[in-house]
Amino acid sequence: MTLRSKKVTEGLEKAPMRSLFYAMGYTKEELDRPLIGVVSAKSEIVPGHMHLDKVAEAVKAGVRMAGGTPIEVPSIGVCDGIAMGHIGMKYSLASRELIADSVETMTMAHCFDGLVLVPNCDKIVPGMIMAAVRMDIPAVVCSGGPMMSGIVKGAERSLSAMFEAVGARKANIIDDAELIEFEENVCPGCGSCSGMYTANSMNCLSEAVGIALPGNGTVPAVDSERIRIAKHSGMAIMNLVEKNITARDIINEKSLKNALACDMALGCSSNSVLHLLAIANEAGVDLDLNIFNEFSARTPNLCHLAPAGPTHMHDLNRAGGVQAVLNELSKKDLIDKSLITATGKTVGENIEGHEVKDNNLIRPIDDPYSETGGIAVMWGNIAQDGCVVKRSAVAPEMLTHSGPARVFDSEEDAIESIYDGKIKDGDVVVIRYEGPKGGPGMREMLNPTSALAGMKLDKTVALITDGRFSGASRGASIGHVCPEAASGGNIGLLKEGDIIEIDIPGAKINAQVSDEEFEERRKNHTIHEPKIKTGWLARYQRNVAASCKGAVME
């Protein structure tokens, strides 16, 4: 075992460095052991992160028990729910790159031998994983776990219901007292919001790809098992360091395909497409949008968690969790069981004996919700490079739809029209200039989708954007349209009233506008100036790649 940390702890020339360790209270005995970075995103602004100090302490205990020296360092993290609907959301996806860069910075500057990554919410999980595979050092993800669902009027509720309640109040379907009952009860405590939203999607996929221990995606934040997982994660990293099993040994083309299959079975957030593409890019794996439809075509959808259904993450955990889903998929050879994981064991060894405990929560492989997976990619003359929809959260009657475009150049303009009752049955709301460059930052737009759902329009109105939607969105919410308007995409040339044809099963999305008409419109079209021209978002805007490439930095 060759330790990177020897570059800062061993030899005559390293005496000044050792003196700085001694200044922090480390002992010679501690410096003789592997140094393990414990990257904690604990903060007091994100419910999913408010308890990560407890998780990180348990990780450190596990590292010490296994003979290592844990060193905790911080990470930033944006709460997407609090950042929703204003300028703050422009920073969310972009922060993924800052997180990856900062984890790389702290690791390389201080010569850590391995990492235990302690995230929980949306961009923090993929950002940390991107750094691990970029540096290709031993790493384990140990997330904070999902929030329990709340109870409103005797039914389980989560954050998506809260956003929809706003739309219901605007439409006078509920009153002020009912709205207050929602806001005081849907989020009962710490953890990542309780549906199969982006945070829980990525925590489950961390488990599916093998870089997190079994239970990482589904054990509730408040469960004592979460602390035990943290301790075992600390022990696991020492095993990986000892055997020099690195992030790219675990995350590679084959394991990413396992994650894709799990993604389709679980019905994960459409944002998982962005993050899997970005992780693949860092791992040196050639992944593109076509492969998502290939996996969707052969992978059945086994789970309908919120917002697609009434169940939540603690229900999935009770039914057997991710390992039971992987085991079910393996019955039709949809999972490669030979791959090494963070446990030091193979996927097959991990899933052995993990049977589904409730077929109402995880459907049998021979009786799925649908024969196709939870995510679909479409192409057409307004999305030549593709767009993405969470198919499992689309009502059957909206899988195909044709209607007039209602065109808006920002989320704010769209939500104002929705709240004012100007959107009618059959409309196709088009929100543009919200892509990676146009936003900048590719805002997640839960407000408009939830407003439509709360107003009972989610089964009659579609939304299309070059931005993205929250994992909590449901309905025909079609995002990631590429090329985006700010890059000259045809979505920027659409006019009010253009008929948009959506065919999710056929993977097609087109405007009834000829190529000749689009070119004629382009002659007199001026692309909007960037909305933000200062600060690091301006640098992001200049260097970010298209959404079909994962919105990575070029």
194 contacts 149 by C-beta, under 8 angstroms:
yes
Q: Within a 10 A sphere around the Cβ of 49, how many other Cβ atoms?
A: 26
Identify the residue whose tokens are 């070029």: 554
410 C-beta neighbours (distance < 10 Å), count = 18
Length of the chain in residues, anyone? 554
Q: Say which residues have a Cβ less than 8 Å from residue 84's Cβ, sequence separation at least 6.
A: 163, 444, 446, 447, 470
**Residues whose CB is less than 8 angstroms from the CB of residue 222 and which lie 6 or more positions away in sequence, other chains included:** 145, 148, 189, 190, 191
What one-character-per-residue DSSP string does 352-421 give? TT---S-TTTS--TTS-SBSS-S-EEEEETTEEEEEEE-GGGS-GGGSEEEEEEEEESSHHHHHHHHHTT
Query: Which tokens hold the place of 437?
Result: 């460059």
Q: Which residue among the candidates 192, 233, 392, 470 is catalytic per the annotation? A: 470
Residue with tokens 């860069």: 101
Sign of the C-alpha dihedral, residues 442, 395, 180, 268? negative
Cα distance between residue 340 and residue 251, in whole Å: 9
Q: Quote the CA–CA distance of 386 and 508 in Å, as a whole number.
A: 9
DSSP 530: P
Asked about 296 being catalytic, the answer comes back as: no
Using alpha carbons only, give the angle 139, 317, 373 rounded to the nearest 5 degrees: 85
Q: Are strands 400-408 and 383-389 parallel, antiparallel or unpaired?
A: unpaired
- Residue from 44, 33, 210 nearest 139 by CA: 210
Q: Reduced to 3 states, what is the DSSP secondary structure of residue 37?
A: strand
- C-alpha 127/C-alpha 380 separation (Å) is 31
φ and ψ at residue 135, rounded to 5 degrees: -85, -20
Place of tokens 């709340």: 150
Whose tokens are 């767009």? That residue is 387
Q: Which residues contact 446 (CB under 8 A, 6 or more apart)?
A: 81, 84, 85, 160, 163, 469, 470, 472, 473
CA distances from 214 to 8, 192, 211, 499 (A): 34, 17, 10, 47
Half-sphere exposure of 254 (CA within 13 A, CB side): 12
Name the residues annotated as catalytic.
470
